[in-house]
Amino acid sequence: MFARILCSTALLTTMGGMAAADTTIHILHFNDFHSRVQPITRFNNTCNAEDDAAGECFGGAARMETVIEQIEAEHGAENVAVVAAGDLFQGSLMYTTFKGDVEAEMMNAIGLDLLALGNHEFDDGPENLARVIDMMDFPVIAGNLDLSGSDPLQERVGNSYVMEIGGIQVGFVASLTTDTVDIAAPGPNVVFQDEIEAMQQDVDELREQGIDVIIAVTHVGQVLDDMLAAQVSGLDAVIGGHSNTFYSVDDPDRDFAYPNFITGPEGDLVPVVSAYAYSKYMGHLELTIDDDGNVVWAEGDTILLDASFEPDAELSERIAELTAPIEEAMAEVVGESEASIDGDRSSCRVQECEMGVLVATAMLERVRDQGIDVAIQNGGGLRASIDAGEVTMGEVLTVLPFQNTLATFQLTGADIVAALENGVSQVEEGAGRFPQVAGMRYTWDPEAEPGSRIVSVEIETENGYEPIDPEATYGVVSNDYMRGGGDGYAVFASEGMNAYDFGPGLEQVVADYLAENSPYTPHLEDRIMQAE
């Protein structure tokens, strides 16, 4: 495979590192689209006219259509395939309003050839996913799911798929994070299997069918992508999603080089790539294949979808039609911020962040007079930053797109500590369970083993911060997703007392807080500290 061919004398003596009979195929890929049908700002919020005039808009379905058409024109449409590595759903008002219909329409319009499922495709359950799949003109795969007990999905989602690209039969396999059971709503009849074992089985089956070129399209995150490349025999490339990892040839802010080569189980080099998120980039992976079906060269880059790409006019017009009914309500100004409010996942999933302070404080202030002492909000529920100046309802909903409600309940101090242990247990993986808090502060040790990382917890009182009492009962406010056990917060579901999950919408709580405290000054409170 790649490493053996790459090092052969015959290959290295040919012009450009490839033989005359070789075929190059082009895989365009994106991941974690998160319903960003419209162009976005650098804060991942929907662009307005002022941003557009300043040339500060990126991505969006109409720009994706433009870059796909350009690459197909340059290399021949028959040599190009377009794949998505999960999470088309959830993240903007398009999904909140239409529940997947618009995402299906947009993906059909740009000519998507394959979708590997992401966890957010399950946010509204298997039935809604099945309904939307019926609207899609492309196959959907997720190889590590046992769907034999899921009537809505078993005939709609495959383990693998084979398509012809450049005259070559190319097999695609897929894997979906097993955390989906905690962070979405797949229901009890969707059974998750080990990612590596399931993928090896799918690869072996394709090899038995005579498929030489096999590409994994995954939604498991960078760490597991590398493990799949290193442990699954027979893979020629891995195209990933879920961790919003940015691969680039030369961008100084990249996470990894594009492609990043991982040594496979047989000593071959497997290129691993991903394209950040939110439609800001389109990945372009070029694979050169010899007559024996061996991948002998891999290169490419992520393409920034900036103002140099003119959005497709027809698709832009359709998007404008879809947004018209909701734009007026979303343009409502709810407050003002004196500076940008950092809600980036690189902050909110590992440490106290400005958006976490805002949201947790707003939650606690809303129900403090109901005997509530502390607020706990999962960092993964914060989906964007907000720039300085006027803050609209649309911006708030972009930060909090999940339509969660406030949930209040009671926990013992010991159970609060257990919840915090869960929250800091998967920081290395960029998990969304990281706890942003108010009414309390805690210190944690990232060097300790998961389950033993919380060093101290203190509750804010009229007399200042006091150590938490493991046996005392405290009032807690969170969101209904976490209260139901989401993001691993099983202790909320099993031990929460006097629970009420039907409070006001979290987005409205934050909007009201901004209105009452405008202009708002973003800040940190030192509620979350690391042990020295």
d(CA 315, CA 109): 8
Q: Which candidate, 109, 125, 124, 95, places its Cα nearest to that of 32?
A: 95
Q: What contacts 255, CB < 8 A, 6 or more positions away? A: 222, 245, 246, 247
Joined together, the tokens standing for residue 367 give 């129900």
Q: Are 18 and 75 in contact (CB under 8 A)?
A: no
Alpha-carbon distance 115 to 141, whole Å? 6
Tokens read off for 130: 């099945």
Q: Is 519 helix (H, G, I), strand (E, B) or coil?
A: coil
pLDDT of residue 478: 98
The structural domains of the chain, ordered by start, are: 2-11+24-321 (3.60.21.10), 333-530 (3.90.780.10)
Read off the DSSP letter of residue 531. Answer: -
Contacts of 464 (CB under 8 A, 6+ apart): none
Per-residue three-class SS string for 92-122: CHHHHHHCCHHHHHHHHHHCCCEEECCHHHH
Coil vs helix vs strand at 494: helix
CB atoms within 10 A of CB 308: 11
User: What is the chain's pLDDT, residue by residue, as a tens digit (532 residues)?
Assistant: 343 233 322 232 232 444 457 999 999 999 999 999 999 988 777 887 888 888 899 999 999 999 999 999 999 999 999 999 999 998 788 888 899 999 999 999 999 999 999 999 998 999 999 999 999 999 999 999 999 999 999 999 999 999 999 999 999 999 999 989 887 889 999 999 999 999 999 999 999 999 999 999 999 999 999 999 999 999 999 999 999 999 999 999 999 999 999 999 999 999 999 999 999 999 999 999 999 999 999 999 999 999 999 999 999 999 999 998 888 778 889 999 999 999 999 999 999 999 999 999 999 999 999 999 999 999 999 999 999 999 999 999 989 988 788 999 999 999 999 999 999 999 999 999 999 999 999 999 999 999 999 999 999 999 999 999 999 999 999 998 999 899 999 999 999 999 988 788 899 899 999 999 999 999 999 999 999 8
Find where tokens 């999905």 sit.
153
